[in-house]
Amino acid sequence: MGSETGSDLKLSSKAKRRFPCAVECKNHEKFLTIYNHYEQAKGHTEKEKGGLIPIVVIKMNRREPLVILDLDHLLSFMATFNET
């Protein structure tokens, strides 16, 4: 069984203008550590109050930093950018 090329989220041309992202979807139990870090960030938002959004920045040696963000928050950010 072969796999398709390109992003996992197929978008129309109009959708790509509003959401200019290449989305690769993965589902693995190996992500437990990342989720533990995200739960830690969520704990900070509860302690500090004020509607903070939990974000985790991860980095490996000789690799670019990556951001872990709840999908609902990402979509809210994208909607804000598309309002302008």
pTM for the full predicted model: 0.76
Residue appearing with tokens 């437990």: 32
Evaluate whether 57 touches 67 at the Cβ level (below 8 Å): yes
pLDDT, tens digit, 9 for 90 and up, residues 28-80: 999 999 999 999 999 988 777 778 899 999 999 999 999 999 999 998 888 88
| CA distances to 26, 34, 58, 69 from 8, in Å | 9, 21, 22, 18
Residue closest to 53 by CA, chosen among 63, 44, 62: 44
- Burial of 45 from C-beta contacts in 10 A (0-12 / 13-18 / 19+): middle
